[in-house]
Amino acid sequence: MRVRFALLASCFAISLAIPAVQAQDFVGSGVAPATVGHSAERPITFADSAGAGGALVILMADAALPALPGIALSEAERAAVTAAIASAKFEGKAGSTLSLRGIGNHSRILLVGTGSAPNMLARAEAGGKAAQELRSDAAPVTISGALSGAEAADVAYGFALGQYRFDRYKTVDHKVPPADTVTLVGGDAAAAGAAYTSRHAPLVDGVRLSRDLANEPANVIYPESFVAEVRKAFGNTAGVTIEVLDEPAMRKLGMGTIVGVGQGSPRGSRMMLVRYRGPGSNAAPLALIGKGITFDSGGISIKPAAGMWAMKGDMSGAASVMGAALSLAKSRAPVHVVAVAALAENMPDGNAQRPGDVVRTLSGKTIEMLNSDAEGRLVLADANEYTARQYAPRAIVNMATLTGSIVGALDDQFAGLFARDEALAAKLLAAGEASGERLWRMPLHPKYAERMKSDIADIRNIAPSQGPGASLGAHFIGFFVDEKMPWAHLDIAGVNDTSSGSALVPKGMTGFGVRLLDQLARDAETP
């Protein structure tokens, strides 16, 4: 009996120890991106001339084959291309293509239309279109088309965005992506290279960071690892300071919303703040604050199983504000920004928030939490207040995959823009047009506030009755921003991923918002 008792006691002691060990083991799930090379991209260079061979891309503004200085294309080959253009009735319309094979020593000649008066964005889209068309071609690529140095840089920028891929976990029947160089020929090669390196390449890096973070599975990217990856991306970039609050720090400050959303997960919540002050910028910072729910199960108000896997991308807002800050910092832009990621994992364990719970925010305001699946607006409440207190920004822009209702309203063509400040709204709309990441203004109406009133707290996080969900969510967020503060909220739920892709945005997580916020920050420094 004593031996049996001793054995039982020993087993009991072991069983008590197991959960602690498991808690250490399963966070991160041990997945390592050992095949990261699969997602390699072609290097981009600029030159005054290029030899024959490989794929040749010719940008066309109309049906007339342009002069191609520096390109090895004989008169007979030009005649063959011209005949093919006439036969196909190719007119160089924006986004159109014509693929030709068997002409000279080129493995392929690809004609890409830019339209008759292409701007920067049209040239970039032509480059992205070429990248998409040549996605599986192993040969080196030469691009030309009567380009100046700056225009060649624009095309290279588009090619870099368009060639993005995320297939690092494929091991069976995987096609190794082409690694041969892309060479832009035309104008001043040195000037083109300088323009690309100083402006476009950092922006591509920012978009890539956002896409990578959002494409990674939730067992790889969670609050703590998100912080680690962003730290790695910034490295020792000049002008950058990083602040990270963990759960004990946020609890001490009284930040009940971020820790509340994350309390059902063993992966602790975080708030990450990246401040970049560029050379000569003495203005107060522009605050870019993103929702960073690294996985959203819905919590106790659990989501339907169908499509839940896409909720790994519910941190796209946070990923994109960090990508925008990275672009600005690496390009040494003369701006002052603080990018904030409100990070939590929303899971339904026995410690998770319950519908009906009341939480207190850093501001002191209280929230009756009626639905744990309306969690993004909760984490932004504390993030907005902390940023306003610590950094005294001149404006706050929130970015979040917030509501399904915005998808119903705008589909995947626009992000929803909610704003109380007309000047800020105008700058956002202009930045959207310039960057190609377009916004549509949505209403904030005083009557929406009445639907969010709580009988036992200052506000509730949803309206029990149906209503304009995206607008109600925006109103809730705005409730936690001082009315004197210029503020806008961008609902990107319809544009953060794509199943079809486009010239600049391959299939998958889009990185939407990096280009938009980069442009906004640069424009915001001007009166």
The answer to whether residue 30 is domain-embedded is no
Question: Residue 381: inside a domain, yes or no?
Answer: yes
Residues 178 and 209 in one domain: no
Say what the pLDDT of residue 11 is: 41
Are residue 183 and residue 273 in the same domain, yes or no? no
What one-character-per-residue DSSP string does 315-375 give?
THHHHHHHHHHHHHHHTT-S-EEEEEEEEEEE--STTS--TTEEEE-TTS-EEEE--TT--
Q: What is the residue type of 439? A: L
**Which position has the token pair 């309206």?**
463
| Residues annotated catalytic, as ranges | 303, 377
For tokens 């402006």, what's the residue? Answer: 199
> 285 and 318 in one domain?
yes
Q: Quick one: 172 and 222 in the same domain?
A: no
CATH of the domain at 326: 3.40.630.10
CA angle 506, 509, 515 (to 5 degrees): 80
> What range does the domain containing 98 cover?
36-187
CATH of the domain at 175: 3.40.220.10
Tell whether 363 is covered by a domain: yes
Report whether 261 contacts 271 (CB < 8 A): no
Q: Is residue 15 part of a domain?
A: no
Q: How many domains does the chain have?
A: 2
Mean pLDDT, 10 residues at a time, over the chain (527 residues)?
Answer: 38 36 44 59 94 94 94 94 97 97 95 95 97 93 92 97 91 80 93 96 98 94 96 97 98 97 97 97 96 98 95 98 98 98 97 97 97 98 98 98 96 96 98 98 91 96 90 97 98 96 95 98 82
**Which residues lie below 8 Å from residue 214, measured CB to CB, with a gap of 6+?**
312, 313, 315, 316, 319, 496, 497, 509, 511
- Would you call 448 helix, strand, or coil by DSSP? helix
Classify 33 in phi/psi space as left (phi over 0), alpha (psi -120 to 50) or beta: beta
**Amino acid at residue number 129:** K
- Of the candidates 80, 79, 85, which has an alpha carbon nearest to the alpha carbon of residue 60? 85
Quickly list H helices, 149-222: 149-162, 189-195, 201-215
Same domain flag for 182 and 284: no
Task: Name the residue among 261, 266, 260, 348 with its Cα closest to residue 302.
Answer: 348
In this prediction the pTM is 0.93
